[in-house]
Amino acid sequence: MKMKATLVSGLVALSFGASAAQADTVTIGMITTLSGGGAGLGVDVRDGFQLALEQAGNADIRLVVEDDAQRPETAVQIAERMIQSERADILTGIIWSNLAMAVVPSVVAQDIFYISPNAGPSPLAGANCHPNYFNAAWQNDTLHEAAGQTANEQGYTNTFIMAPNYPAGTDALNGFKRYYQGELAGELFTQVGQTDYAAEIAQIRASGADSVFIFLPGGMGISFVRQYEQSGVDLPIISAGFSFDQDVLPAMGSAALGVINTGQWSPDLNNDTNIAFVADFQEAYGRLPSIYASQGFDTANLILSALNTAEVSDQDAFRDALRAAEFDSVRGSFAFASNHHPIHRIYVREVVEVDGALTNRIIGTAFEDDYRDIHGENCSM
Amino acid sequence: MSLALFIEQLLNGVQFGLMLFLMSAGLTLVFGVMGLINLAHGSLYMIGAFFCAAAAAATGSFWLGLVAGLAAAAAAGAIIEITVIRRLYDRDHLDQVLATFALILILSEGVRMIFGPFPLYLNVPDSLRGTIDLGITQYSLYRLTLIGFGIAVAVGLWLLIARTRLGIRIRAGENDREMIAALGVNIRVLYTVVFALGAALAGLAGALVGAIQSVQVGMGEPVLILAFVVIVIGGIGSIKGAMVGALMVGVIDTMGRFLLPRFFATFLEPSQAMGVGAALASMLIYVLMALVLVLRPKGLFPAHA
Amino acid sequence: MREMRREHMLNVLLAVALFAVPLWAYFASEPFVITLATRVAILAMAGVGLNLALGLGGMVSFGHAVFFGLGGYCAGVLAHHAFSGTPVLMGLPGTNQMLVIWLVAMLTSGLLALVIGALSLRTSGIFFIMITLAFAQMFFYFALSWPAYGGEDGLPIFVRNQFPGLNTMRPWELFVVAYGLLMLVLALFAVIRASRFGAALMAIRQNPDRAAAVGISPFGVKLVAFVISGMITGMAGAMMADLTRFVSPAMMAWQMSGELIVIIILGGTGRLFGPVAGAAILVGFEVIFGGMTEHWKFWLGLVLLAVVLFARGGFVGLLAGRDRHG
């Protein structure tokens, strides 16, 4: 029987395009969103990641990219394929929290490393943290907490807050309220994927608020900002950076000018790694990098730095190497907390126009270098 | 709650309803004349928005963009009708659903191949920016223009159908298909024209709404499903039904999102009321549709009564 | 007669192939192929459910994803409570036993199908398509915005539910469960089709007036068929949740309803093994072309269009002849 199995597996290797990897090659599986409305984010993460790999020129790394179409069940299926037939050692790439929650727990339980370039749902930072899971971007609440802190510093005392009615939206509002000290002029849930915000804007107008906090990623943010500009309500908007970054700013146009948002990164961050990254990315892809591209770039460099000191097959050594995070992050200072989520500085940014293109510029700091998320308290690592 | 807020919400509901009417009118016209159910109608809306955005960016004029969006949608409609839809008229609804579902996949991916994965920029023309004072409340000038467009198209459509030769043929086609063929009307051309007209209306809606929403792949599908709700409530095939249904859906959806959370807040704690209210508001129009169908299985204005 | 024999041979071939391919993968240590085969079996099961309503009864339900999703949530919610040791409802405990979960999934889906069917079957034709879509959207939005079981984020099942005597975490053993269940459901479909009830159902599809004239109540027969159809699709949903170890509102989305219809049409409407062929084609297409191009949906659309326009009998019809019995 055993001989037959060997023979058959030889045939399989042939029929599957000889996917069996050579001994020294490290296979990285990237599951990300390349089709549908959220494709821009996945494309940026992928491009940032690939840029770092090309710059490193490491021939022993094989990157396999596949589109999850923003569907959890598809992502789960791809993860299984990457582990079972591509023999991936490391997985990465997922953009959305709900997809991460579907994929990550079972992946890390199979002794595969997962490095998140974007999503950071709170269970994975707290009670369900795992030695094989690292987040190179942020915990989901982080930028919203920073927005709450920024609202205080801007002197807002009566903010109207709004987010879509799904768990990431609830987390956003809770994150904001965790640091915000003023009164709430109103609190609203919108529908996921909602395109018309006239009803909400009318309520903002009637609420007597002095500012508005929104979390409306992707197309929802574009719709809101355009309609808000036309409504004549001119209260300042404050938000987390992922609703106001390079993927959506060109589509928002001047309506986004002046919006204050928070981020762990900004294109004008003045450190050598970032200056080179922004220039190289523009040269390679002909567009400005977004916060997502910066995260893809950091994720790849984190993995590369760990591969330089340890074999991925030696799991404990590789894990220690990841934990050390000895790479030059585009965001400057970067370290891992005990729950494998970043300790980093969070900046306050403003949307401005530079040479006819909308982009962000740093105007302050919301949290200093030692910021870490609160969910780590629930993590037993 | 002030009267001004209530009136502003009512206007919002009407504006939303009129845009839904532009979508639904084409859908219901195509069903009424050709007996075809077209899931790809939302893709034509998307095509209108994308071509409007691209042309506006190239020329710097929103109005030229609007023309381009309308023309692109009409042309796409005509091409689709000639190559695919034509073969579906004497098929059952199942084949129509499936073929037009396939068209959604093709058109969505096709648009993404041409325009890329990122949302496009399209803004309100300068002359229509800002707000206008209606006495009791400020209101967005552009939204007011949308209301105007909606009414104008509704009147135009009514005139077209009631007063022109094309309209006579359309009405004849709704009543008896063999008859108008016998009368020497070139039915193939008529069908292509009607389909392109419906497509143009969808493209117009996409371009108009695109200026205050996100122009992105997949933008047509939520509107498509709402448009189906509208025509089912109104009675499939009836333009009048589409108008009544669209206004009902627009106003009820807007008011539901606005009032339900407030209603629950009178006896639940605020955060809970907000969640329950928002959840129920999102189901409201489907409940309405189910209710109408249970009470009047062929909609409010059955076209072939 | 010859065509019936050809279809019969094709059915046997499909049944054997669906078992042989993962068996080969098992010995070749290609667990992913087994997972794919399991997925095919489960989607086929959901398709058999819809095939009963759509293929035999002519009820074009554009909302069958609601049963698929509800079944999935039954598995997810029960497992969630079993895992956390909290009661589901009024002191009733959760469970991680597949057999119990299937029963619950079938009961709840059947109940929902009874309500939806009773209201929807008052209409027909395009109105039926639309109202089933509307009901599915209603529950989709409810699942999306109801925070108790994760809302849009969905609900993970950390450990697969259990089947007596098997280890369901092993791909092969889970496949055996899914395959066995699929064969049972196919047998049920064949029995129904051959029964007097099935004859009445098909008679109603072909000519409701004549059926009514000979004393068959179209409403009653169709409603029963719709309920059984919902139950089967619901059970498939529970299995799917266990395969992916995850449930989310996406299982109820209208695209899922569309996909179920696609499975049936690709395979051959009303054919016993149509859904098996359809599910295999769909999954195969996704795996092969999804790896080659990110625009694979474009090509899927073209293929679908070609099937609808030029190959109306689907895969089974293509190979076994166009004539459809019944």
pLDDT in tens, A20-62: 444 478 999 999 998 776 788 999 999 999 999 999 988 889 9
Domain membership of residue B58 (yes or no) is: yes
What is residue C85's predicted lDDT score, i.e. its pLDDT?
79
Residue B267 located in a structural domain: no
Return d(Cα C256, Cα A78) in angstroms, integer. 18
Q: Do A12 and C28 touch (CB under 8 A)?
A: yes
Task: Name the B residues in 143-182 with CB < 8 Å from any A CB.
Answer: 143
Closest CA to B265 of A156, A221, A203, C89: A203
C-beta atoms surrounding A13 within 10 Å = 14
Residues in chain A with pLDDT < 50?
1-23
Specify the pLDDT at position B4.
84
What local confidence, expressed as pLDDT, does residue B182 receive? Answer: 72
More confident residue, A191 or C24: C24
Q: Is B72 a domain residue?
A: yes
Query: What is the mean pLDDT of the segment spanning C269-286?
Result: 91
Instruction: Note whether C115 contacts B: Cβ–Cβ < 8 A.
Output: no
Q: What is the reported pLDDT for A102?
A: 87
Chain C closest-CA separation from residue A248 CA (Å): 21
Q: Which domains are seen in chain C, by residue range? A: 2-320 (1.10.3470)
Number of domains into which chain B is organized: 1
- What residues in A contact C292, CB-CB < 8 Å? none
CA-based max dimension of chain C: 59
pLDDT of residue B277: 84
Question: Tokens for C225?
Answer: 């068929």
- How do residues B57-78 score in pLDDT, each as one tens digit? 999 999 999 999 999 999 999 9
Name the more confident of C8 and C145.
Answer: C8
Domain encompassing residue B132: 12-217
The predicted structure's pLDDT at residue C1:
61
User: Has residue B147 been placed in a domain?
Assistant: yes
Give strand pairing partners of C162: C97
Q: Domains of chain A by range and CATH?
A: 17-140+271-343 (3.40.50.2300), 142-264+346-378 (3.40.50.2300)
Region B87-116: what's the mean pLDDT?
90
Asked if the Cβ–Cβ distance from C138 to B108 is below 8 Å, we say no
CA distance B247 to B227: 11
pLDDT at A8: 39
* The predicted structure's pLDDT at residue B304: 58
The stretch C272-295 carries a mean pLDDT of: 87
Average pLDDT over residues B234-255: 92
Residue B278 lies in a domain: no
Chain A residues with CB-CB distance to B279 below 8 A: 165
- Among B154-158, B180-184, C32-36, the range scoring the smallest mean pLDDT is B180-184
Has residue B129 been placed in a domain?
yes
Residue B266 inside a domain? The answer is: no
The answer to whether the CB atoms of B232 and C125 lie below 8 A apart is no
Confidence band (pLDDT; 50, 70, 90) for C225? very high
On chain B, the residues whose CB falls within 8 A of the CB of C142 are 279, 282-283
At residue A307, the pLDDT reads 94
Residues from chain C contacting residue A167 (CB–CB below 8 Å)? 147, 150-153
Q: How distant is the Cα of A150 from the closest Cα of chain B, in angstroms?
A: 23
Residue B189 lies in a domain: yes
Task: State the ipTM, two decimals.
Answer: 0.86
The pLDDT score that the predictor gives to residue C232 is 97
Better pLDDT: A38 or C106: C106
